[in-house]
Amino acid sequence: MSTEPEWIGKGKVRARLLDDGTLEAKCNGITTQAKYYKPLFKEFFRKDFNRVRPGYGDYEVHIVMEFTGDPPIMDLDNLAKALLDSLTGAAFHDDSQVARLLVERREGERERIIVRCRALNQFDAPGLT
């Protein structure tokens, strides 16, 4: 019976590595200033969560902004760029390695940003053995 990995981090940002290699990070609270997230996450990966090393190959990234009440007015593309920049050097070497990107805004129980990043295995493609 497997248990959920523990979250690492003491401040606004926390992260964990799942059994399948997915890096999952979250930041409690949201702001409409997307540029706020890049240094926040980058510093977290540098100081508090340095157990990951950047990899090569293709990656998929799923970003969710959860909000309560009225949806915040923020361009999700700006949020995605800030978070991809913060993952550069932590999860992958360059954000051009992101082959699949999903960014969504949805109502949730609390205001937060959730980021999931995982390497895509080229051998999982249909028709390859």
Q: Enumerate the domain spans of the chain.
A: 13-120
CA distance 39 to 22: 21
Render each residue's pLDDT in the chain as its tens digit; 129 residues.
557 889 999 889 999 999 888 999 999 998 888 889 999 999 999 999 987 889 999 999 999 999 999 888 888 999 999 999 999 999 999 999 999 999 999 999 999 999 999 999 754 434 333
Q: State the pairing for strand pair 13-17/98-107.
A: unpaired
**CATH code of the domain occupying 13-120:** 3.30.1330.70
Amino acid at position 80, single letter: A
Report yes or no on whether pTM surpasses 0.85: yes
| Of the candidates 92, 96, 94, the residue with the CA atom closest to the CA atom of residue 55 | 92
